[in-house]
Amino acid sequence: MFLSMGNVMEEALVGLLFIDFETPRRLRVHGLARLDEAVPIPGAVIVMRLSPAQVF
Protein backbone atom coordinates (compact mmCIF):
# COMPACT_ATOMS: atom_id res chain seq x y z
CA MET A 1 0.00 0.00 0.00
CA PHE A 2 1.20 3.49 -0.74
CA LEU A 3 0.48 4.55 2.87
CA SER A 4 2.97 1.95 4.11
CA MET A 5 5.66 3.28 1.79
CA GLY A 6 5.27 6.77 3.26
CA ASN A 7 5.49 5.35 6.76
CA VAL A 8 8.70 3.45 5.93
CA MET A 9 10.27 6.61 4.50
CA GLU A 10 9.62 8.38 7.82
CA GLU A 11 10.38 5.47 10.21
CA ALA A 12 12.28 2.37 9.08
CA LEU A 13 11.32 0.25 12.12
CA VAL A 14 8.47 -2.09 11.18
CA GLY A 15 6.49 -4.91 12.72
CA LEU A 16 4.71 -7.52 10.62
CA LEU A 17 2.09 -9.97 11.84
CA PHE A 18 1.27 -13.11 9.84
CA ILE A 19 -1.80 -15.06 10.96
CA ASP A 20 -2.72 -18.64 10.01
CA PHE A 21 -6.50 -18.74 10.40
CA GLU A 22 -6.74 -22.51 9.92
CA THR A 23 -4.59 -23.24 12.95
CA PRO A 24 -4.27 -20.90 15.94
CA ARG A 25 -0.75 -19.74 15.02
CA ARG A 26 0.82 -16.43 14.27
CA LEU A 27 4.27 -15.14 13.36
CA ARG A 28 5.62 -11.73 14.30
CA VAL A 29 8.61 -10.15 12.57
CA HIS A 30 10.27 -6.92 13.72
CA GLY A 31 13.03 -5.26 11.77
CA LEU A 32 14.26 -2.44 9.56
CA ALA A 33 12.62 -1.82 6.20
CA ARG A 34 13.91 -0.03 3.15
CA LEU A 35 12.30 0.75 -0.18
CA ASP A 36 13.88 -0.51 -3.39
CA GLU A 37 12.59 0.99 -6.65
CA ALA A 38 15.17 -0.74 -8.89
CA VAL A 39 13.85 -4.31 -8.56
CA PRO A 40 12.28 -5.57 -11.82
CA ILE A 41 9.16 -7.43 -10.65
CA PRO A 42 6.32 -7.36 -13.20
CA GLY A 43 3.43 -5.24 -11.96
CA ALA A 44 5.28 -3.93 -8.89
CA VAL A 45 5.76 -0.22 -8.39
CA ILE A 46 8.21 -0.56 -5.53
CA VAL A 47 9.61 -3.35 -3.32
CA MET A 48 9.98 -3.20 0.43
CA ARG A 49 12.95 -5.15 1.80
CA LEU A 50 13.11 -6.15 5.44
CA SER A 51 16.17 -6.87 7.58
CA PRO A 52 14.68 -8.89 10.44
CA ALA A 53 15.84 -8.16 13.98
CA GLN A 54 13.39 -10.41 15.87
CA VAL A 55 11.17 -13.27 14.76
CA PHE A 56 8.79 -14.84 17.24
10 CB-contact burial (10 Å; exposed 0-12 / middle 13-18 / buried 19+) = exposed
For the ranges 25-29, 43-47, 49-53, the lowest mean pLDDT is seen at 43-47
Across 26-36, average pLDDT: 92
Helix, coil or strand: residue 25: strand
Range of the domain at 19: 2-55
17 - beta bridge partners?
Answer: 28
- Identify the pLDDT of residue 51: 94
Across 8-28, average pLDDT: 91
Domains contained in the chain, number:
1
- Identify the pLDDT of residue 54: 96
